[in-house]
Amino acid sequence: MSAGLLLLRLLLAALLFGHAAQKLLGWFRGLGPDGTAAVFESWGFRPGRPMVLLAGTCELVGAVLLGAGAVTPLAAAVVMGTMIVAAAPSAANGLWAHLGGCEVPFLYGSLALVVAVTGPGNWSVDHAVGADDFSGVPWAVAAAVLAAVSAVPPLLLRRRNLRGAGEDVEAGRVGP
């Protein structure tokens, strides 16, 4: 089981690292901070550049911590919170990615929750330092609550920004 958990953690960490590198560095055909900022702003996450830096940093920190199996409930909370926010712009399109849905952030957040429930396994920093007691359902629930609470401010900011943009569009102050 430990080998499977290690593989799960490393695969999720690699994907999260890739997403962070697209945002922060423009790697893997990403747009980098400035290009991604324009996309974030179109989604209502303004100001775009700071929001990109925050999202990319959260993905990177989550990737490193989950990959190492270190502070696993906190790492899972960081990933889940980031993915809750990431799902917001595409949630209205449903689940499936090929229809523009939120499948990818849902999957990444769900996998982080799975790791929080199971714990990182024996091949992890948490196991090496004797922090194995910090896993299981109670810690996973705490991580999920922390993630949801942490996602509220950027989601409220997005909602406010989109309402303001809608009012501006209706008043003729913003182009199409």
Q: Note the pLDDT tens digit of each residue in 70-106.
A: 999 999 999 999 999 999 999 999 999 999 999 999 9
Given a cut of 70, whether residue 168 has pLDDT beyond it is: no
**173 confidence band (pLDDT: 50, 70, 90):** very low
Q: Regarding predicted confidence, which is higher, 19 or 166?
A: 19
pTM: 0.91
Q: Is residue 71 classed as helix, strand or coil in its secondary structure?
A: coil
- CA–chain centroid gap for 114, Å, is 15
- CA–chain centroid gap for 65, Å, is 13
| Burial group, residue 6, by CB count within 10 angstroms (0-12, 13-18, 19+) | middle
Say which amino acid occupies 164: G
Say which amino acid occupies 104: V
**Is the distance from CB of 77 to CB of 146 less than 8 angstroms?**
yes
What is the per-residue pLDDT for 167?
A: 52
Please state the domain extents for the chain: 2-156
Given a cut of 70, whether residue 159 has pLDDT beyond it is: yes
First to last CA, the chain: 53
Average pLDDT for 130-144: 93
| Burial group, residue 51, by CB count within 10 angstroms (0-12, 13-18, 19+) | buried
- pLDDT above 90 covers a percentage of the chain that reads 89
Helices (H), the chain: 2-25, 32-42, 48-68, 72-91, 103-118, 125-128, 137-170
- Among 108, 113, 127, residue whose Cα is nearest residue 2: 127
Given a cut of 90, whether residue 165 has pLDDT beyond it is: no
What is the per-residue pLDDT for 134?
A: 87
What is the per-residue pLDDT for 32?
A: 98
Average pLDDT for 23-51: 97
**132 confidence band (pLDDT: 50, 70, 90):** confident
